Structure 1
Amino acid sequence: MGIAYMMKKHRRHNKAVHKSSLKEFLHQPGTPPGTIIIDENAEQPNIVLIDYNRANLVNKKLQQPEDCFQYLDTESVSWVDVQGLGNRDIIQRLGQVFDLHPLVLEDVVNMAERPKVEDYEDQLVIIARMVVPNINNHSFHSEQVSFVLGKYYLLTIQEEPEYDCFQSVRNRIEKGKGIIRRQSADYLAYSLLDAIIDGFFPVLELYGERLEELEEEVIFNPNQHTLQQIYQIRRELLQLRRAIWPQRDAINTLIRDGSELISEEVRIYLRDCYDHTVQVMDMVETYRELASGLMDVYLSAVGNKMNEIMKLLTVVSAIFIPLTFIAGIYGMNFNTEKSPFNMPELNWYWGYPFCLGLMALIAVVLLFIFWRRGWLSNSFHIK
């Protein structure tokens, strides 16, 4: 009863949180296509430009979206990273600068969007989901990242600047490591997608450690907090599965469907990225099975603990039943003067010690019998 009630309570809580989060981003029925709805709590956008080729590098923060114009027509790779979605005017002006379709702007600001790939002839739109470990509560932060890939530029739009897994790519560009400075914008898009997929592994490592700790707790000291932790991990792993599953399909689309913006060389790199997504999916499924197994182990451990308690109480009751019988007999008020058969032992000199000794002897004999049959094992070692 208690376990079922707690699981229903957590399920209602998670549904309420999920519904409230969807209300913030999903449109009302009948909303015209291309409508931009900005969350009032969203961060103000920061626009960071990284323009590079083999010899030159420009890295600066832009004040206005229109400042991008002078870099978009050059043959150098221009990465425009927008961090934050709290300004409708800036988002609409970005759409004008990059000539984005209204439906693309709608997908960018809709944080409940499913990862996908859409081809707009001279632009390739990629919606991905990025996860970053949250060490404070042993969980993860998830946010949507939108890519708009052109021939010489890449526009990325993130929910907020605080959480980001692109720093390794920025360092490679700034220091000229690897081949990224010699490649086009499609290779930059691959590098960022690869960084997003690789960001799942630290999160999964964190869940692996949590599952190991819970495994020991379930075996040695299962309690209600253990049940809450297992159920929470199962819910969070389900969120990870929902994030990585369509992301695999999106990357597979980039590999399978031909696009002039993705070169054959980059498609080869995307195959490796696809392999990583499959590996992440396998790990997520494995951890989900482990969490489900821990739930079964928890229920078994609680049941075994209850059985041991009942076993101990049964042993104690079995010992006291004959003792209570003897005490009940000698508690009857028979008059020994009326008949010599009315409990003559009440007049014995050693009658009381004899009664206590008999009770002790019966208890010892019963304990010996229980021990010989193995009924006392683990009964007196309950934590």
Structure 2
Amino acid sequence: MVGKRLQPSRLVVPPDDEESTIDYFYDVPGSMPGTLNIEPDAPPPVIVLIDYSEKTAIRLQVETPEECAAHLDTESVSWVDVKGLGSEDILKRLGAVFTLHPLVLEDIVNVPQRPKVEEYEDQLLIIARMVMLRRSGRSFLTEQVSLILGKHYLLTVQEEPENDCFATVRERIRLNKGTIRKHNADYLAYTLLDSIVDGFFPILENYGEEIEELEDEVVANPTRQTLEKIHKIKRELLTLRRSIWPQRDAINALIRDGSDLISDEVRVYLRDCYDHAVQVLDMVETYRELSSSLMDVYLSSVSNRMNEVMKLLTIVSTIFIPLTFVAGVYGMNFNVEKSPFNMPELNWYLGYPLCWAVMIAIATVLIVFFKRKGWFENFSTVKSRD
């Protein structure tokens, strides 16, 4: 039996007119542990090796996993970055080179997994979710990043070869900026986790601006499209929440559990990373509450607009009711020759102008009365904003 997954599969990419949330991978009950489920459209793996020490740094694109074996036991730090999950053979060979437990390889390949930390004999598995802004600046992409930390190496496995937020880390290693080349592999793992968490902030800034625009739109001119925008934001914020909530717990586990692969110095840095994750989660929760309140404001605005329209129609109807009554009375056309009481006004010289004067006077009195009652106030919401 093979594993099955919920949709969407490898890369959660919500289009501009569609919403998605992360559905974690699941196995069919009773399936064999360690079964790999490769997506048919998964890109082939690209393996990049960055080996560095305080004095030197090299970057190589290797063809086979076996080429990395010579760098794993050296005193320098080896970062093996695998992008793509499209070859079961290469992934299994990668597992053999790094002596990965079958369950570790399963968690790496069968995506998406829930962010977590698992400790093995001489390795530490960290599952994280990375989010990136679309090129359009609207919405975001999200994919799983798996980090396997060893004593002198760090193996990272990504779903896609084109999207990640590690460019600044690679540049720091290449140019020897900061202190990254003076530390061990655990500091590199912290740096990548910090980049992943910090990647949430630009996305949340966009959502903050979008929510502010929606607040104005909901109050001034709520439409069906406004409701769809609110629903889309709620769904995407739910995706962010499901990404950062377990990720925060995973970082906390790295600080609390005391693995031998994480030094005390790096735990201090991880506390800062944890604070950033908490800040991201607070922002997500705040925006979710704001988006939920926007729904209430939308319904209130629609109701208020309807009330204003009904008020206007009531005023117009109330003014024209007596005028319609007068017009109806004089539209009966009783024969005045039969009786002097049968509408003698029809023979008056000024009967028609007097009828108009009476109707205008009635309308004027009603308009003045309604104005003093304040019925003409707050009609601004009826007007559409350009």
Query: Normalising TM by the smaller chain, what interval?
Result: over 0.9
Q: Distance in 2 between matches of 1:288 and 1:359?
A: 56
What is residue 127 of structure 2 aligned with on the other side?
127
Residue 42 (structure 1) aligned with residue 42 (structure 2)? yes
Give the deviation of 1:211 after TM superposition: 0.9
* TM-score, scaled relative to structure 1: 0.92
What is residue 27 of structure 1 aligned with on the other side?
27
- Comparing 37-46 and 135-144, the one that deviates more: 135-144
Q: Which amino acid aligns with 1:202?
A: P
Q: Distance in 2 between matches of 1:184 and 1:175?
A: 17
Q: Does the 8 Å contact 2:131/2:142 carry over to 1?
A: yes
1:297–1:50 distance in 2 versus 1, CA, 3 Å: same
What is residue 70 of structure 1 aligned with on the other side?
70
Q: Distance in 1 between matches of 2:349 and 2:92?
A: 107
Helix, strand or coil at the partner of 2:382: coil
Helix, strand or coil at the partner of 2:111: coil
What is residue 320 of structure 1 aligned with on the other side?
320
Aligned-residue CA RMSD (Å): 1.7
- Comparing 255-264 and 333-342, the one that deviates more: 333-342
Q: Which amino acid aligns with 1:201?
A: F
Q: Distance in 1 between matches of 2:379 and 2:54?
A: 75
Give the deviation of 1:14 after TM superposition: 7.5
How many percent of aligned residue pairs carry the same amino acid? Answer: 65
Residue 263 (structure 1) aligned with residue 263 (structure 2)? yes
Q: Distance in 2 between matches of 1:137 and 1:43?
A: 25
What is residue 374 of structure 2 aligned with on the other side?
374
What is residue 294 of structure 1 aligned with on the other side?
294
Q: Which amino acid aligns with 2:184?
A: S
Q: Does the 8 Å contact 2:217/2:226 carry over to 1?
A: yes
What is residue 11 of structure 2 aligned with on the other side?
none
What is residue 284 of structure 1 aligned with on the other side?
284
Gaps of 5+ in 2: 1-16
What is residue 10 of structure 1 aligned with on the other side?
none
* TM-score, scaled relative to structure 2: 0.92
Q: Deviations over 1:240-275 (max 9, x none)?
A: 111111011101110000111111111111111111
Give the deviation of 1:30 after TM superposition: 3.1
What is residue 52 of structure 1 aligned with on the other side?
52
Residue 250 (structure 1) aligned with residue 269 (structure 2)? no
Greater share of residues in helix: 1
Q: Does the 8 Å contact 1:194/1:273 carry over to 2?
A: yes
Q: Distance in 1 between matches of 2:342 and 2:380?
A: 41
Q: Distance in 2 between matches of 1:270 and 1:379?
A: 56
Q: Which amino acid aligns with 1:49?
A: L
Helix, strand or coil at the partner of 1:39: coil
Residue 228 (structure 1) aligned with residue 228 (structure 2)? yes
Residue 85 (structure 1) aligned with residue 92 (structure 2)? no
Q: Distance in 2 between matches of 1:140 and 1:120?
A: 33
Helix, strand or coil at the partner of 1:82: strand
What is residue 3 of structure 2 aligned with on the other side?
none
Q: Which amino acid aligns with 1:319?
A: I
Residue 171 (structure 1) aligned with residue 171 (structure 2)? yes
Q: Deviations over 1:37-85 (max 9, x none)?
A: 0111211111010000011111011111111111112111000000111
Give the deviation of 1:311 after TM superposition: 0.6
Q: Does the 8 Å contact 2:333/2:343 carry over to 1?
A: no
Q: Which amino acid aligns with 1:86?
A: G
Q: Does the 8 Å contact 2:305/2:381 carry over to 1?
A: no
Q: Does the 8 Å contact 1:128/1:146 carry over to 2?
A: yes
Q: Distance in 2 between matches of 1:378 and 1:354?
A: 35
Q: Deviations over 1:177-204 (max 9, x none)?
A: 1111011000000000000011111111
Residues paired across the two proteins, number: 367
Q: Does the 8 Å contact 1:200/1:280 carry over to 2?
A: yes
Helix, strand or coil at the partner of 2:47: strand
- Bigger relative contact order (CA 8 A; separation at least 6): 2
Give the deviation of 1:135 after TM superposition: 4.1
What is residue 185 of structure 2 aligned with on the other side?
185
